[in-house]
Amino acid sequence: MSEIKEFVTFRLNEEYYGININNVENIEKVLPITRVPYTHDYVRGVINLRGIIVPVVDLRSRFNLEPKENSEESRIIIVNLEDLKIGMLVDASSEVLQIETSEIDAAPNVKKDINNEFIKNIGKKNGRIIMLIDLHKVLNIEQHVE
Amino acid sequence: MDMSQYLEIFIDESKEHLQTMNEILLDLEKDVDNLSHLGEIFRIAHTLKGMSGTMGFNKVADLTHKMENVLDLVRNGEVKVTSHIVDILFECFDALEEYIDNLEKNGSEGDLDSTALVKKLADIADNKGHVENMSGKKDAPSETKTTTAELSDAFHIPLNDIDSIIKKAFEMGVKPFLIKVTLDEGCMLKAARSFIVFNTLERFGEVIKSHPQAEEIEDEKFDQSFEVLYFTKLDKEYCKNELMNISEIANVVVEPLSEDDYLLEETKEDVEVDLAHVEDQVQKVKEENQNKTEKSKTSKTVRVEIGRLDNLMNLVSELIIIKTRLEDLDTTQQKMVDQSSKNNMNEAIEYLERITTSLHDAVMKVRMVPVERTFNRFPRLVRDLSKDLGKNIKLFMSGEETEVDRTVIDEIGDPLIHLIRNSLDHGIESPDERAKSGKAEQGFVALRAYPDGNNVVIEVEDDGKGIDPEIIKRKAVEKNVVTKDAVELMNDKEIINLLFEAGFSTVDKVTDLSGRGVGLDVVKSKIEAINGTVEVNSTVGQGSKFIIRLPLTLAIIQALMVYLNEEKFAVPLNNIKEITNIDTKDITMVQDQEVVLYRNKTLPIIRTKEVLEIDHTRDDADELTVVIVKKGDVEAGLVVDGLIGQQEIVIKSLGKYLTGIKAISGATILGNGTVALIVDPNQLF
């Protein structure tokens, strides 16, 4: 019996990634971001999410991709992890995909670069490949919450 | 019956009663013949007894009952109030306070043993006040204690037929004990008492056998004592203490059975069930204890005057009115845009502004509590400490009614205790020394609170020997707090304030009270954590004065909004001394630091844009806009690109993901919905 899991997908360049839907609070259009000094490069700053200050992590920067201007399609995905609320800036995000657990494989461990560490599993759906990310590693939780 | 819903009320009321009791006891000490004080204490003890009895808190009820007995004698003139009696009453007060504290923290009275205290009270009652002779008899209960060796012979439980069980117990790591419990001579309900003993034992393990048999004990068919064979994982002392906590128990002897005697025996299966049970019990107790520690205190509450809530309610209704009015305006405006509707709009906005300001004020007031809550424990502290130190010290308090935010109240207690102890211990001299230097024998400590603009000031002043800058200088260099060169440049006030630096403690001798290595730096960091400041003024030979400034509220502050490039930042107004323009050519370099001479003082210039990682290119403007901020007595000038104006801002935290960011204390949301960071000038220099 294979279960069905739901993932919120987003796009960076032409690649698709997925986050377990249970971690996602909502998806916002890009709000004005205020830069914060003395943080990691990948922390873009903070936004005002209906009265709550939420930090935003730029996933392009975190995945070592070249910087790019925000476009109409850019989104901030608000995720809840442990008791943190964090925004993730991505190129686009729209879909929720249902993937059967039988269609989820361990990530191939060929290249040993930083991006590979972020990918926990690979999901397949209708011939598309979705990289399922490890939020703890991507958001570098251990280092931030000491 | 479930009493938990009444627990909070009980705790609140008990605390109030105890507070009154404390005050009256202090008064009584000064004026021992005043019968009205006694009547008052009696009344409080009586109320507490009633309340705790109803709630089933027997230790409190027991103690207050005994207090009542003594107080009654005193009131009837049969016993005269002596300092000994007052001391005992104070001890009772302490015990009661601890019980109530325990109740608040974990819902049970705790293990504090008040039997000695009860005995002292009973002694007074019995001897009708011949207490002077009593001091020797205080240890009476321990004298009657028989040694375990004597008693072990007296155990009547035959062990032969159950030694296999005992052996199994050892294998499981459970210890068997023989316990002999002796009840008080005057114990009326022996069966009930022993039932409590059994209950207590069953909580931590298993009673295997008893002598006499359980049924006989139930029928009170025993003298003053009975014995049990008991299996538990707990140790001897713990068992004993648990049992001694039960009232009307005269003595408990716990005798562990040695393992060697039973090692070679065979095992029986039916015992296993029992032992598993014991394990379960122990596990349960452990869990219970864990729950106790995990269960947090009762939630923070504030008692609010009903008038303040009414005011709040009024303001909210006005808010609703103005909302309707704005909606109204909106629909009319759609029809015609003319001068009159614009005026109406402005009027409505002004009205709204007034309401929000009042609302803010009112909500703040609801959170405010008088500093009395913190202050009222100090008379007792000073009394006890000066007794211990052999000094004659009077405490003056003023401004107890001054109100500060509830969160501030909770934080300010410890620093104040520290400062007062400091004054008593190190500040004020012994009576002899005082007489020698021509001062009155009685020293004083003054504790004052008063509002000062948007701050509340709390002062701790003493007329002791003061702080000698020379000693501080020497120590500071010795302990590498500052360099020798630096200290030579400092004035006396700056030197004295070195006291607050980490790793500084002036007293060589460590006393019980203060000088434990953690010193004033802890006081300072605690006060700074709630956005306050602390400084000290002192004159050698005349005394010292610690001045604490606290913000009225933590959540909303006045700030100056400034531009740095395109970014907006908020600088808290209470950090700002003034704003000025400075000519670039006046800046000189001193030890890699830009400074200007301003009002005859050197003012370090901080390139805020560089510190906040905005950009590192320096524009060559002839004139710089500089916001002069102060940290204590130190000042620095922050270079900014432009000023926006003063604004009331709501402080928001950056959250846990972004902690410990240098120079930024939080964020605020601007009118247009964007976020601006709040600069913490204290961390800039």
**B674, A32: Cβ pair inside 8 Å?**
yes
**B657, A84: Cβ pair inside 8 Å?**
yes
pLDDT in tens, B245-290: 777 777 787 777 766 555 444 444 455 556 666 666 666 666 555 5
pLDDT in tens, B492-522: 877 887 877 766 655 544 444 444 444 777 7
- For chain A, the three-class secondary structure string (H helix, E strand, C coil) is CCCEEEEEEEEECCEEEEEEHHHEEEEEECCCCECCCCCCCCEEEEEEECCEEEEEEEHHHHCCCCCCCCCCCCEEEEEEECCEEEEEEECEEEEEEEEEHHHEEECCCCCCCHHHHHEEEEEEECCEEEEEECHHHHCCHHHHCC
Percent of residues, chain A, with pLDDT higher than 70: 92
Residues of chain B found within 8 Å of residue A139, distances taken between Cβ atoms:
657
Residue B676 banded pLDDT, cuts 50, 70, 90: very high
Examine the residue annotation and report whether B46 is marked as an active-site residue of this protein. Answer: yes
Suggest the residue from B657, B668, B680, B683 to mutate for an interface test with chain A (most A CBs closer than 10 A). Answer: B657
**B614, A37: Cβ pair inside 8 Å?**
yes
Active-site residue (options: B40, B68, B429, B459)? B68
Is there a contact between B596 and B587 (Cβ–Cβ < 8 Å)?
yes
Looking at the DSSP bridge assignments, the partners of residue A99 are A5
| Separation of alpha carbons B508 and B471, rounded Å | 12
Q: Which residues, other chains included, contact B589 with Cβ-Cβ below 8 Å and sequence gap of 6+?
A: B595
A88 lies within 8 A of chain B by CB: no
Residue of A36, A52, A86 lying closest to B661 (CB–CB): A36
Examine the residue annotation and report whether B104 is marked as an active-site residue of this protein. Answer: no
Q: What is the least distance, in Å, from the CA of A19 to any CA of chain B?
A: 19
Query: How many Cβ contacts (< 8 angstroms) between chains A and B?
Result: 68
Neighbour count for residue B164 (Cβ, 10 Å): 15
Examine the residue annotation and report whether B245 is marked as an active-site residue of this protein. Answer: no
Least confident of B180-189, B289-298, B397-406, B645-654: B289-298
Q: Which residues, other chains included, contact A65 with Cβ-Cβ below 8 Å and sequence gap of 6+?
A: A12, A13
Give the pairing of strands A43-49 and A52-58: antiparallel
**B664, A83: Cβ pair inside 8 Å?**
no
pLDDT at B475 over 90: no
**B675, A47: Cβ pair inside 8 Å?**
yes
pLDDT in tens, B343-373: 777 788 888 888 888 887 788 788 888 888 8
- pLDDT at A86 (0 to 100): 93
**Mean pLDDT across the stretch B333-341?**
63
Q: What is the largest CA-CA distance in chain B?
A: 108
**Mean pLDDT across the stretch A120-137?**
86
Residues of chain B found within 8 Å of residue A55, distances taken between Cβ atoms:
654-655, 657-658
Residues in chain A: 146
- pLDDT at A54 (0 to 100): 93
Residues in chain B: 685
Burial class (CB in 10 A: 0-12, 13-18, 19+), B317: exposed
**A37, B654: Cβ pair inside 8 Å?**
no
- pLDDT at B138 (0 to 100): 38
**Mean pLDDT across the stretch B467-491?**
79
Suggest the residue from A28, A36, A142 to mutate for an interface test with chain B (most B CBs closer than 10 A). Answer: A36
DSSP-assigned letters across all residues of B236-301: HHHHHHHHHTSTTEEEEEEEEPPSGGGTT----THHHHHHHHHHHHHHHHHHHHHHHHHSPPSPP-
DSSP state of B221: -
Q: Which conformational region is residue B511 in: left (phi greater than 0), alpha (psi within -120 to 50 degrees), or beta?
A: beta
- pLDDT at B323 (0 to 100): 82
| Separation of alpha carbons B83 and B30, rounded Å | 10
Residues of chain A found within 8 Å of residue B661, distances taken between Cβ atoms:
36-39
Looking at the DSSP bridge assignments, the partners of residue B571 are B560
| Separation of alpha carbons A42 and A39, rounded Å | 8
Percent of residues, chain B, with pLDDT higher than 70: 80
**B675, A34: Cβ pair inside 8 Å?**
yes
Give the pairing of strands B175-183 and B533-539: unpaired
A50 lies within 8 A of chain B by CB: no
Least confident of B232-241, B273-282, B313-322: B273-282
Q: Is the pTM of this model over 0.80?
A: no
**B658, A83: Cβ pair inside 8 Å?**
no
Residue A114 CA to chain centroid, in angstroms? 15
Residue B161 banded pLDDT, cuts 50, 70, 90: low
A32 lies within 8 A of chain B by CB: yes
| Separation of alpha carbons A4 and B545, rounded Å | 70
- pLDDT at B3 (0 to 100): 60
| Separation of alpha carbons B665 and B659, rounded Å | 10
Q: What is the least distance, in Å, from the CA of B613 to any CA of chain A?
A: 6
**Mean pLDDT across the stretch B395-405?**
87
By C-alpha distance, the chain B residue nearest A57 is B657
pLDDT in tens, B598-627: 888 888 988 888 888 887 777 667 888 899
pLDDT in tens, B43-97: 888 888 888 887 778 888 888 888 888 888 877 777 777 778 888 888 888 888 8
Residues of chain B found within 8 Å of residue A86, distances taken between Cβ atoms:
657
Q: What is the least distance, in Å, from the CA of A145 to any CA of chain B?
A: 6
| Separation of alpha carbons B364 and B160, rounded Å | 74
Query: Which among B229, B671, B141, B284 has a CA at the least distance from the CA of A32?
Result: B671
- pLDDT at B454 (0 to 100): 67
**B664, A36: Cβ pair inside 8 Å?**
yes
- pLDDT at A23 (0 to 100): 92
Q: What is the least distance, in Å, from the CA of A103 to any CA of chain B?
A: 34
Tokens for B443?
A: 């020293």
- pLDDT at B290 (0 to 100): 53
Suggest the residue from B568, B608, B672, B675 to mutate for an interface test with chain A (most A CBs closer than 10 A). Answer: B675
Residue of A32, A46, A83 lying closest to B667 (CB–CB): A46
pLDDT in tens, B62-77: 888 888 888 888 777 7
Residues of chain B found within 8 Å of residue A85, distances taken between Cβ atoms:
655
Rg of chain A (C-alpha set): 15
A43 lies within 8 A of chain B by CB: yes
| Separation of alpha carbons B447 and B395, rounded Å | 7
Hey, which of A38-42, B21-25, B174-178 has the most confident mean pLDDT? A38-42
Per-residue CA distances from B383 to B27, B163, B380, B502 (Å):
11, 59, 5, 30
pLDDT at A89 over 90: yes
A140 lies within 8 A of chain B by CB: no
Looking at the DSSP bridge assignments, the partners of residue B642 are B563
- pLDDT at B292 (0 to 100): 47
Neighbour count for residue B573 (Cβ, 10 Å): 15
The phi and psi torsions of A83 (rounded to 5 degrees) equal -110, 25
**B655, A84: Cβ pair inside 8 Å?**
yes
**Mean pLDDT across the stretch B102-115?**
75
- pLDDT at B562 (0 to 100): 92
User: How does the average pLDDT of chain B come out, rounded?
Assistant: 76
Cis peptide before B141 (omega within 30 of 0): no
Domains (range + CATH), chain A: 4-139 (2.40.50.180)
Per-residue CA distances from B177 to B154, B230, B616 (Å):
14, 5, 77
Burial class (CB in 10 A: 0-12, 13-18, 19+), A143: exposed
Q: Which residues, other chains included, contact B468 with Cβ-Cβ below 8 Å and sequence gap of 6+?
A: B540
Helix ranges (H only) for B395-480 are: 406-422, 431-436, 469-478
Query: Which among B491, B472, B468, B632 has a CA at the least distance from the CA of B543?
Result: B468
Per-residue CA distances from A64 to A88, A118, B36 (Å):
15, 12, 80
| Separation of alpha carbons A121 and B655, rounded Å | 30
Residue of A38, A46, A139 lying closest to B662 (CB–CB): A38
**A84, B567: Cβ pair inside 8 Å?**
no
- pLDDT at B2 (0 to 100): 58
| Separation of alpha carbons B665 and B654, rounded Å | 8
| Separation of alpha carbons B44 and A134, rounded Å | 62
- pLDDT at B440 (0 to 100): 84
| Separation of alpha carbons B427 and B543, rounded Å | 7
- pLDDT at B285 (0 to 100): 63
- The H or E element spanning position B62 is helix B58-75
Residue B131 CA to chain centroid, in angstroms? 35
Q: Look at A133 and B342; give whichever has higher pLDDT.
A: A133
pLDDT in tens, A12-39: 888 889 999 999 999 999 989 999 988 8
Looking at the DSSP bridge assignments, the partners of residue B227 are B180, B211
| Separation of alpha carbons B616 and B613, rounded Å | 7
- pLDDT at A127 (0 to 100): 82
pLDDT at B153 over 50: no
Is there a contact between A123 and A18 (Cβ–Cβ < 8 Å)?
yes
**B675, A51: Cβ pair inside 8 Å?**
no
| Separation of alpha carbons B161 and B450, rounded Å | 77
Strand arrangement of the beta sheet that strand B567-572 belongs to:
B642-650, B556-564, B567-572, B675-679, B664-669
| Separation of alpha carbons B337 and B151, rounded Å | 102
Tokens for B267?
A: 């095992």
Q: Look at A68 and B506; give whichever has higher pLDDT.
A: A68
Residues of chain A found within 8 Å of residue B679, distances taken between Cβ atoms:
none
- pLDDT at A78 (0 to 100): 94
The phi and psi torsions of B680 (rounded to 5 degrees) equal -105, 95
User: How does the average pLDDT of chain A come out, rounded?
Assistant: 85
**A55, B659: Cβ pair inside 8 Å?**
no
- pLDDT at B525 (0 to 100): 78
A137 lies within 8 A of chain B by CB: no
| Separation of alpha carbons B637 and B635, rounded Å | 7
**B675, A55: Cβ pair inside 8 Å?**
no
Please, what sign has the CA dihedral across residues B344, B349, B352, B353?
negative
Neighbour count for residue B258 (Cβ, 10 Å): 10
Give the pairing of strands B576-583 and B588-590: unpaired
Active-site residue (options: B13, B23, B29, B46)? B46
